[in-house]
Structure 1
Amino acid sequence: MAETEQQGGSTPEDEAAEANTTFMVPKKEISMVPDMGKWKRSQAYADYMGFILTLNEGIKGKKLTSEYKVSETVEKLLDLLGTLDRWINETPPVDQPSRFGNKAYRTWYAKLEQEAEALVSAVLCADKHPAAPEIAVYLKEAVGNSTRIDYGTGHEAAFAAFLCCLCKVGALRVDDQLAIVFKVFNRYLEVMRKLQRYYRMEPAGSQGVWGLDDFQFLPFIWGSAQFVDHPTLEPRHFIDEKVVNEYHPDYMFLECIKFINEMKTGPFAEHSNQLWNISAVPSWSKVNQGLIRMYKAECLEKFPVIQHFKFGSLLSIEPTKP
């Protein structure tokens, strides 16, 4: 099914097809619930889903520790994420009465807001620099909200959109697929987990025990793809702590479970009921397909999430071309 959906979307193969693009600073286009139809018919939706599904196919059955090409652009993205990580160390939490939402996050975020364009320019070749102001918006949206000091799947989607834009301008290419997920996205998750811990960020729009996870969704999709056709590990195994401890360096899904186990107390079935239910699904390919459907329904088709999404020339609100 995924293959048919990929046809309308952009993939990391979209080299510099955007050479003639007039770049623009992305802005919100979804202001009311009826606008959601515009989003689902948009080129941005097709490109975004095509990107997610292409990566999903590319990493099936592969470990985080497998060998793959690491391009210069990937190295530069890792440097960018390393800078964000270093800024956390340089911006310690402040003493405040409320336990959650440490205000030092706003100082950290202000630095990113100031530096985002320069950080993105450093990733791009000189001839792609005109795209930096547009692409930088997605980077700023990808790390949480500085007013509410929260983070959720909408912010995660902005980071995927950031990577998708880098593909559309030809900075990332089709042979970067494994590195996009295993190196760049995985490093992004590490930095986000550090932010969440350090500044005690609130989950944005959390559904509590009825949500898949307080903060992330994509690593569960891509993480389940890694397990497709695994000879021994089945979905029922990920709730076994011994399995998690042994195999988490190889599998994104288990890294997520490990983080949940560290952050939450009490029986897994109570604090992570949806994941507990998933452990009863018979095969990883069924888990993977189910999570893609759930992602569309619970994230991409929910107004509270998509109202914050921004549209420019690279991810356009215009309807998909027939």
Structure 2
Amino acid sequence: MELLTLVDYAHHSFSKPVKSIALPEDINSKWDKSQALHDLLSFICYLNEAVRNKKLTDPCPLSETVEGLLELLKTMDVWLDEIPPLDQPQRYGNKAFRDWFKKVQENAVELVKKALDEKYNNAIDEISVYLVESIGNPIRIDYGTGHELAFVAFLCCCYKIGALGVEDAQAAVCKVFHNYIELMRKVQMTYRLEPAGSQGVWNLDDYQFIPFIWGSAQLIDHKQLRPKSFLDLDICNTFAKDYMFFGCIQYINKVKSGPFAEHSNQLWNISGVPSWAKVNQGLIKMYRAEVLSKFPVIQHFLFGSLLKISPV
């Protein structure tokens, strides 16, 4: 991937990621100029192009690394089944989430080590931090777009060390990322996680954003499906298995009640856009402005030797 600077993993000096954004003004002075932001945006846009006109169910090559990452997510899913929610009075924030989080946190290094070839062992301590960051916050028992960004960072790091390559782009989205999203929806439902920093009806979704970006890319130039199509419940349910965007809408319809225009106003507006290409371009701009430029999200991001705070 020419858009990212690959590192020589055998001789690179890895470091455990740390927080570097402490004040709102750091967004303009540090984050906006950082190598990390440049790499993440390049990575998101690269994968966006890789899944253009591609279904989730389309065949694609599965490398050993992709297979390993899928197995990693499957293991986390099994642990989720083994740690049921506690019987507690409050509706949201089931404390059993903390037990599942601890299980993943304590085993993250081994999980990633098992998923990647042993030649990448030097990078495991740094990369595994992003995996732990991607599953929510155990203190607040919440999950949001900052955690989702951490999983994208995890995949980006796998690319930067060369564990994932250009040939893995489609599978990285349609298999690995999609399985991560499915896992986190199950976590949300099981432990009733609070949305982290939700903007309510003015955001796309209480928890996630990137599936809408890559999901709209999948639908560019589709001969039958239009942006207005996702308002049709039957169409949505029929195509949810093929397209991430429809899967997102299906999930919203499952967890929210009432008129769609009221509980998901932003998406209702998007349904009026004439083409998926315009939806896709608009969502990338919106993500840059509403997620990647927001201090409440970026203050939690961690910087290491692969995703650096230093200027690009």
| 1:120-135 pair list within 5 angstroms | 120-135=112-127
Structure-2-length-normalised TM-score: 0.98
Partner of 1:309: 301
Alpha-carbon distance, 1:232 to partner: 1.2
1:174 alignment partner in structure 2: 166
Structure 1 stretch displaced more, 285-294 or 91-100? 91-100
Residues 65, 117 of structure 2: 8 Å contact kept: no
Deviation string 1:17-53 (CA, Å, 9 cap, x unpaired) is: 4543200000000000111121111110111111000
| Equivalence for 1:107 | 99
1:193 aligns with 2:185: yes
Find 1:64's aligned residue among 56, 81, 88.
56
Taking the aligned partners of 1:241 and 1:262, their CA distance within structure 2 comes to 11
* Aligned with 1:217 (options 184, 204, 209): 209
Corresponding residue of 1:51 = 43
Kept in 2: contact 1:19–1:169 (CA 8 A): no
Which residue type is aligned with residue 298 of structure 1?
E
In the alignment, the residues of structure 2 paired with residue 190 and residue 258 of structure 1 have an alpha-carbon distance, to the nearest angstrom, of 12
String of CA shifts for 1:73-97, please: whole Å, max 9, x gaps.
1111011000110111100111112
In 2, the alpha carbon distance for the partners of 1:83 and 1:315 equals 26
Q: Report what 2:230 is aligned to.
A: 238
- Percent identity between the two aligned chains: 57
The AA in structure 2 aligned to 1:74 is V
- Greater mean alpha carbon deviation, residues 111-120 or residues 15-24: 15-24
Structure 1 runs not aligned, ≥5 long: 1-5
Q: Which runs of 4+ in 1 moved over 4 A?
A: 14-19
* Mapped partners of 1:58, 1:137: distance in 2: 26
SS of alignment partner, residue 77 of structure 2: helix
The residue number in structure 2 matching 1:3 is none
Q: 1:98 aligns with which of 82, 90, 95?
A: 90
RMSD across aligned C-alpha pairs, in angstroms?
1.2
Instruction: Tell me how far apart the structure 1 counterparts of residues 33 and 185 of structure 2 sit (CA, whole Å).
Output: 33
TM-score (norm 1): 0.95
Q: 2:242 corresponds to which residue?
A: 250
Task: Report deviation, 1:15.
Answer: 5.2
How many residue pairs match? The answer is 311
Q: Does 1:33 align with 2:24?
A: yes
1:107-142 superposed Cα distances (whole Å, 9 cap, x missing partner): 111111110111111122222101101001100000
Alignment deviations for residues 186-219 of structure 1 (CA, whole Å, 9 cap, x no partner): 0001110000000000000001111110011000
